[in-house]
Amino acid sequence: QKEVEQNSGPLSVPEGAIASLNCTYSDRVSQSFFWYRQYSGKSPELIMSIYSNGDKEDGRFTAQLNKASQYVSLLIRDSQPSDSATYLCAVNRQGTYKYIFGTGTRLKVLA
Amino acid sequence: DAGVIQSPRHEVTEMGQEVTLRCKPISGHNSLFWYRQTMMRGLELLIYFNNNVPIDDSGMPEDRFSAKMPNASFSTLKIQPSEPRDSAVYFCASSLVRAGDGEKLFFGSGTQLSVL
């Protein structure tokens, strides 16, 4: 089992719709969770971090964490064509400097 | 700040040659990470340093790979000898990590390595 798993996609949504991206992780001691966005040919950039169970909202983005189910998700409201990218889920185990990434989900927002 | 600076941006070499990738982290950051990204395996952690000390190199694929961080502002990843399967994008990232809390990683632009 991979430490961090994501559906590779592509996930296609129409412009203005909600895109839902999911991630599961295997290490129960994981404490910090991140969503990075990576445009084709570019480097990953952080868009959201979440540390406790529940929802965290930032503009059009909402991260959701359920540690009991070892599940973290990212919702993108009012999706725009500029949101088309690969979204990487990353987890960090408390007390370490180790950040493990999933293979990413490719999102396509159709105009 | 200029961000994390990597060089070269592109490297094309022949099998068996030595390859050296370079990274300058963001000033003040205490942790540095080397990642490799391929379509098949995604973003893999190779090694990370904290305060210039290698903490975990379990991701380094084999003895052909080595990494150094002689000071807080410079790190190298060396592959000797290089093989075609080493072809990938290599990213360097830095962060200011405090007391084990998860912090944002700042990535460099990456080095696209092609080994022929």
From the list B43, B55, B109, which residue is nearest A97 (CB)? B55
Q: Does residue A33 have a pLDDT over 70?
A: yes
CA distance A23 to chain B (A): 14
Summarize pLDDT for B18-41 with one digit per residue, the tens. Answer: 999 999 999 999 999 999 999 888
DSSP B9: S
Q: Determine contact: A97 vs chain B, CB below 8 A.
A: yes
Q: Which of A8-17, A53-62, A96-105, B96-105 has the lowest mean pLDDT?
A: B96-105
CB A18 within 8 A of CB A76: yes
pLDDT band at residue A1, thresholds of 50, 70 and 90? Answer: low
Summarize pLDDT for A39-68 with one digit per residue, the tens. Answer: 999 999 999 999 999 999 999 999 999 999
- State the DSSP string of B34-61: EEEEETTTEEEEEEEEETTEEEE-TT--
CA distance A17 to chain B (A): 27
A106 or B41: which carries more pLDDT confidence? A106
From the list B97, B100, B110, which residue is nearest A43 (CB)? B110
pLDDT at position A30: 77
The verdict on a CB contact (< 8 Å) between B43 and A88 is yes
From the list A43, A90, A103, which residue is nearest B91 (CB)? A43
The verdict on a CB contact (< 8 Å) between B41 and A92 is no
